[in-house]
Structure 1
Amino acid sequence: MKFDASYSLKVKIITTAVIILFMGLGIMQISPAIRVDAFLALSLSTLFLVILVVTYGLSVTNYEINSYELVICRPFKNKIIPKENITSAERIYKRDLKWTFRVFGSGGLFGIYGNFFNKKFGTMNWFVTREDKLILIKTNKGKKYVVSPDEPERFLDTLRPAN
């Protein structure tokens, strides 16, 4: 079963702002009014493009649950969590995530994903597109994943029979 992962307003604003910023900086580099070294201009444009491609490639497009696994669908490489490894899945809320720190990842450009730490939950891998529909998934390997399907209750109902 497929579950959509739509962007929150925050993610849409951050993504749009960064793309506009990168485009503006790129245009400024080729403007005859601003003299920029050709190597520097090419290097910065390449860096901007790499950042956009990598962050988009690691972003979540949707989630799929089948008989055997939860698939976190991403343009570059899907993350697969076998259902037999899942020990629990529960809704969590923004108030549960006070003092959560991003160790490595994206904080809004094409989503919120990467490694995060929180005193209450410890280390977590986030695959999130919005912060108002969060689900914490724990595995028997000690891993914790946070996802944000558009329909969290239906997602949990579909995932739970394997528990």
Structure 2
Amino acid sequence: MRYELPVGRSVKVLTLFAVLVPIAVFCWLWISGIERIAVYIALPLIMVFGIAYAFSPKEVLLEDGGVVIKKVVGRVFIPYSSIKDVSYVEELSRRTIRLFGSGGLFGWYGIFRVPDIGVVRIYARRTKGLVLIKADRNYLIAPEDPQIFIEELKSRIRV
């Protein structure tokens, strides 16, 4: 089964702001005749945005052997045999600390410390309606219809 990862409002706003502000600065510098500085600013930003987009999650699949989290480039595989528990998390805590990854630019993904859970790998594009998968590592994902996702996943792992 295939589950989209819907984009939340905070991710839309942050991504839009993070992309539009540098474009505005670039245009202003270019129009002001400072092309060299505009290029020096634009090239690293294009690389950062490209890398951030490449690692952003897109969808979750329940395949025969396990859960697959598809990113723009690459995928994460969680075998059903390693899953110990699955539960619903209403909302990502505001006290969540990003250890490595993106905290809103093209989504929430990477390694985070979440209160009451601990260190977790997040693959989401919104901060509400999350599913916690406890396996060899902890994973938080935000598929469409999280309750249906949980039921389907539990039927496959028999928890």
TM-score by length of 2: 0.91
Partner Cα separation in structure 2 for residue 99 and residue 20 of structure 1: 28
Of all paired residues, the percent bearing the same amino acid is: 23
> 1:2: how far off?
0.3
Cα displacement string for residues 43-62 of structure 1 (whole angstroms, at most 9, x for unaligned residues)? 31111101111111111111
Structure 1 gaps, min length 5: none
**C-alpha RMSD of the superposition:** 1.5
Cα displacement string for residues 8-65 of structure 1 (whole angstroms, at most 9, x for unaligned residues)? 011111111111112112222322x2535x2x43231111101111111111111111
Q: Who is 2:55 aligned against? A: 58
Q: Who is 2:46 aligned against? A: 49
Pick which of 62-71 and 18-27 moved more: 18-27
Change beyond 3 A, Cα 1:118–1:18: same
Partner Cα separation in structure 2 for residue 100 and residue 41 of structure 1: 35
The count of corresponding residues between Structure 1 and Structure 2 is 157
> 1:80: how far off?
1.1
Equivalent residue in structure 1 for 2:74, among 60, 77, 83: 77
Cα displacement string for residues 89-141 of structure 1 (whole angstroms, at most 9, x for unaligned residues)? 100122x73522111211111111111113411101100111111111111x2
Equivalent residue in structure 2 for 1:93, among 80, 90, 95: 90
Partner Cα separation in structure 2 for residue 137 and residue 150 of structure 1: 15
Find out whether 1:109 has 2:105 as its counterpart: yes
The residue type equivalent to 1:30 in the other structure is W
Equivalent residue in structure 2 for 1:147, among 127, 132, 141: 141
The residue type equivalent to 1:113 in the other structure is Y
Partner Cα separation in structure 1 for residue 22 and residue 149 of structure 2: 36
Structure 2 gaps, min length 5: none
- Match of 2:57, SS state, is coil
> 1:148: how far off?
0.1
Partner Cα separation in structure 2 for residue 99 and residue 108 of structure 1: 15
Partner Cα separation in structure 2 for residue 121 and residue 129 of structure 1: 19
Partner Cα separation in structure 1 for residue 74 and residue 40 of structure 2: 27
Partner Cα separation in structure 2 for residue 25 and residue 76 of structure 1: 29
Q: Who is 2:2 aligned against? A: 2
Q: Who is 2:12 aligned against? A: 12
